[in-house]
Structure 1
Amino acid sequence: MTLSAKSKFALGLLPMALLGACADKPGPVGNVAVPEPAKAVALDLYLGKWFEMARYEAPFQKGCDRVTADYSLRDADPSDPKIKVVNSCTKDGKTSVANGKAKVVAGSQNAKLKVSFFGPFYGDYWILDRAEDYSWAIIGEPSGRYLWMLTRQAQPDAATRALIEARVKELGYDWSLVRITDQS
């Protein structure tokens, strides 16, 4: 039995349709004009543990608190860095961990990554802005639906929180969509 080109095409779409049916609908667009990253990123300074200060609530993070992200190099090839990503979140008293991988987008001065937590599917991860000392970072992606504010401290001081909020607004994001992460 031979399949027609049309049948093969339809069968090829089946996995994508099933994946789409399992995925929750993304949140609203919080920035219709996402800017390009503001600064180059030194990966050796960006790597390490980050605490999520706040975010746009994404379906895959709904209800998560005590969120952290750990970044480390997977390979020692500085010309083509591959990054290990370990995200954790606590929801309903249970901590879950997601292991992923990231790769730097060529020509982005390390400010754009492609990140994957399952299979061959990669999402955009843009380091839109960061502190000079890498004490905080603002992460987004081109659709304007996802936004994360990361700090090196679980409980950043009021001045740092105010600075990040002001910078998020300057970048064109709707602060009313932000969910503050409980890190207690």
Structure 2
Amino acid sequence: MYLLSAFLFSVRRALIPSCRAGLWALWMAGVAVMAGCANTSPPPGVKAVTPFDLQRYQGRWYELARLDHSFERGMTDVSATYTPQADGSVRVVNRGFAAASGQWREAVGKALFTGAPTTGSLKVSFFGPFYGGYHVAALDPDYRWALVLGPDTSYCWILARDKQLDAAQRDAIVARAQALGVDTHALIWVTHKRQDPAHPPH
């Protein structure tokens, strides 16, 4: 959710040379390896949402837009599911369709609050001890959409409970992102046309 994936890929290849699925483990690991796998602070001038309610935030979100990074390049139909755990951590499951391989991919990670659980600032790991920041910079009062940033404004995701937003909502979120310093002209809008086999229709 999240990056410097090339760095982590080189580390992972050195540690586990036989793991050819390593690159996939980096998908959304930008959230886990941003800024040299160490920076878990929000971007300068950005404050994470307070109050934040994990019980309302949990569940599945669809990735509607993102800034381009290699770990997620070419992915469509992307979703993230957050599940609170008994130890206070959050299980993170990211899924998406890789057009290049024609396959669904999944990455499982863990998130921890960096401070009070009433503030939407977490650190996420998809690979061992490497964590990176995940900061909810704006959030719909009804928890229908979220604007998430990494350690700087080159990492930005727009998430929603539904696969699309109406034009007014979309424009308002983009304006908020732009006000925080995000290059919104570079946003990639994610298509959602496939049915994820892990989430069959009810």
TM-score when normalising by structure 2: 0.71
Provide the residue aligned with 1:5 in structure 2: none
Contact 1:129 1:138 in 2 (8 A): yes
* Preserved contact between residue 67 and residue 88 of structure 1 (Cα < 8 Å): yes
* Aligned twin of 2:127: 118
| Inter-partner Cα distance in structure 1 for 2:57 and 2:134 | 13
Q: Does 1:19 align with 2:11?
A: yes
The question of whether the paired residues in 1 share the 8 Å contact of 2:82 and 2:93 is answered with: yes
Q: Does 1:94 align with 2:103?
A: yes
State the match for 1:36 in structure 2.
Answer: 47
Which segments of 5 or more consecutive residues in structure 2 lack a partner in the other structure?
A: 1-6, 15-22, 31-42, 194-202
- Alignment partner, residue 79 of structure 2: 68
SS in 1 for 2:177: helix
| Cross-structure match for 2:158 | 149
Identify the residue that residue 147 of structure 2 maps to in structure 1: 138
Larger Rg, first or second structure (1 or 2)? 1
Q: What is the distance in 1 between the residues matched to 2:114 and 2:108?
A: 20
Give me the identity figure in percent: 33
Give how far 1:66 is off: 0.4
State the Cα distance separating 1:144 from its structure 2 match: 2.1
1:127 corresponding residue in structure 2: 136
Q: CA deviation at 1:40?
A: 2.3
Q: Which amino acid aligns with 1:63?
A: G
State whether residues 56 and 146 of structure 1, in contact with CA within 8 Å, keep that contact through their aligned partners in structure 2. Answer: yes
Task: Deviation per CA, 1:103-162: give whole Å up to 9, x if none.
Answer: 111246331101011111111100111001000000002222211000000122222212
* C-alpha distance in structure 1 between counterparts of 2:9 and 2:49, whole Å: 36
Give distance in 1, aligned partners of 2:165 and 2:57: 17
User: Which digits, 9 at most, give the CA deviation of each residue in 1:153-172, with x for residues without a partner?
Assistant: 01222222122112111222
Partner of 1:165: 174
1:50 corresponds to which residue?
A: 61
**How big is each residue's C-alpha offset from its partner over 1:68-92, in whole Å with a ceiling of 9 and x where there is no partner?**
00000121x5xxx210000001111
CA contact (8 A) 1:35 1:171 kept: yes
8 Å CA contact retained: 1:89, 1:95: yes
Distance 2:53 2:9 in 1: 39
Shift in Å, 1:34: 4.9
Q: Does the C-alpha gap of structure 1 residues 16 and 86 become closer, same or farther in structure 2, counting only changes over 3 Å?
A: closer
Q: In proportion to residue count, which structure has more strand?
A: 1
Partner of 1:84: 91
Q: Residue type matched to 2:75 in 1?
A: C
